Amino acid sequence: MPIYEYTAADGTRLELIRSMADADKPVTDPESKGRHFKRIASTFAAGGTAAGSTPSASTAGGHVHSGMCGCGKARGSCGGLKN
């Protein structure tokens, strides 16, 4: 199930694991202070690159030129791309 973020007017934020069908249903204030929470767009960052991609590497003649093989290991250590 996805994780959704919610915020109240006082800046309190919550993360809840809910089904997509329940994403916009009212959230009960966990501290019983009567606050109303509104779902907000979640932002996150993930490290790494997609398999086989090297965003900072240059290409020439169909070969990737960087210190790393497409598998993420040092060039030549896996038997992959070699220059």
Please choose, from the candidates 4, 80, 60, the residue with its C-alpha nearest in 3D space to the C-alpha of residue 68: 80
**Per-residue pLDDT tens listing for the chain (83 residues):** 899 999 999 999 999 999 999 999 999 999 999 999 999 987 766 666 656 555 554 444 444 445 556 666 666 666 654 44
The pLDDT of residue 59 is: 45
Separation between Cα atoms, residue 20 and residue 24, nearest integer Å: 8
Q: In this structure, what token pair is assigned to residue 23?
A: 């994403």
- First CA to last CA across the chain, in angstroms? 45
pLDDT at 33: 96
Q: Say what the pLDDT of residue 49 is.
A: 62
